Amino acid sequence: MTHEFDEHIALSHQDETTWVAELDAGWSVGGGLNGGYLLAVAGNAVRQTFPSKPDPIAISAYYLSAAEPGKATVHVDVRREGGSVATAAVDLRQGEETRIAALATYADLDRLGDDVRTTAEEPDLPPPDQCVPNTMAPPEVRAIAPLMDRFDMRFHPDHIGWAVGQPSGDGVLSAWFRLVDDREPDPVSLLMVVDALPPVTFDLGMPGWAPTLELTAHVRARPAPGWLKVRHATRNMAGGMFEEDCEVWDSAGRLVAQSRQLARQPRPVS
């Protein structure tokens, strides 16, 4: 069975360092395509560049212009290879416009040590059937976010007040997450997961989509199959921008990805 996520990040070779992708309209949100989806497309090209180091352990993307559905090219420039990690610069372009410029370091997660010493605390979520599904999101949210149809998300009831006009003001969102067709998570899909939830600013009473300026993700372990837990938080809104930290925990209770992005405060929904 082919899952839609794999179809949507699929690449064909144009030449040795250039790949072609067909960006799918199903990932539209606000005025463009979801940044996590674009990161996964770029990350997939780097993955194929380093067959023996297939996992993104760190990737930093700078979002330069809004992407549109349709053809895109991904350009991979190997910057260092050798030893246990490899680094590349990667651009995702449409025509003459660069959509994202990124740097990425890859490794084989299975060949790293198996020591784990995590003091971060796993999000405490009620069981999925006691959480609020994304299918109940308000029509104005779904209208600007067709990408929500890609996901089965179950939001923590304590931080879903924004859906009924009563945001908590804490600056926190958390949810169970999986892809709608049960495609299991892997290191590349985690690059999309870290940017899949609505902006944490929803919980601060600021509706509207928040354009990402920069997003860095670390994938720290290969995720176990099943539901993921995703938690977003912000602690510093200033100068029209905010940082959004994301943690992704797998069904085995392991912290598999951490990310931080710098984003502009949401533009009001028109």
For the CB of residue 247, give the shortest distance to its own copies in the complex, in Å.
9
How far lies 90's CA from each of 40, 138, 156, 197, in Å? 12, 36, 36, 25
Smaller CB separation from its own copies, 63 or 151: 63
Query: Which segment (6-14, 19-27, 44-52, 78-86) binds its own copies by CB under 8 A?
Result: 78-86
Q: Are 269 and 207 in contact (CB under 8 A)?
A: yes
Q: Are 171 and 235 in contact (CB under 8 A)?
A: yes
Find the binder of its own copies among 15, 116, 129, 268 (CB under 8 A): 116
For residues 142, 147, 149, 150, the Cα torsion angle rounded to the nearest 10 degrees is -160
Smaller CB separation from its own copies, 4 or 62: 62
Q: Are 73 and 67 in contact (CB under 8 A)?
A: no
Number of residues that bind its own copies (CB under 8 A): 47
For the CB of residue 150, give the shortest distance to its own copies in the complex, in Å.
27
Report if residue 143 touches its own copies, rule: CB under 8 A.
no
For the CB of residue 26, give the shortest distance to its own copies in the complex, in Å.
27
Q: Which two tokens stand for residue 176?
A: 């169970």
- Rounded CA gap, 170 and 204, in Å? 7
Return all residues near 17 (Cβ < 8 A) that are at least 6 apart: 49, 75, 76, 77, 78
Find the binder of its own copies among 66, 243, 251, 267 (CB under 8 A): 243
Find the binder of its own copies among 17, 60, 168, 251 (CB under 8 A): 60
Query: Which segment (11-19, 25-33, 100-108, 153-161) binds its own copies by CB under 8 A?
Result: 100-108
Map the footprint of its own copies across residues 174-213, applying CB under 8 A.
204, 213
Report if residue 119 touches its own copies, rule: CB under 8 A.
yes
Smaller CB separation from its own copies, 47 or 150: 47
Return all residues near 12 (Cβ < 8 A) that are at least 6 apart: 19, 20
**Collapsing DSSP states into helix, strand and coil, what is residue 100?**
strand
**Collapsing DSSP states into helix, strand and coil, what is residue 16?**
coil
122 DSSP assignment: P
Report if residue 228 touches its own copies, rule: CB under 8 A.
no
For the CB of residue 1, give the shortest distance to its own copies in the complex, in Å.
31
Smaller CB separation from its own copies, 126 or 253: 253
Report if residue 214 touches its own copies, rule: CB under 8 A.
yes
- Rounded CA gap, 44 and 38, in Å? 10
Q: Are 76 and 90 in contact (CB under 8 A)?
A: yes
Return residues touching its own copies (CB under 8 A).
57-58, 60, 62, 64-65, 79-80, 85, 87, 89, 98, 101-103, 105, 109, 112-120, 171, 204, 213-214, 216, 218, 220-221, 234-241, 243, 255, 258, 260, 262
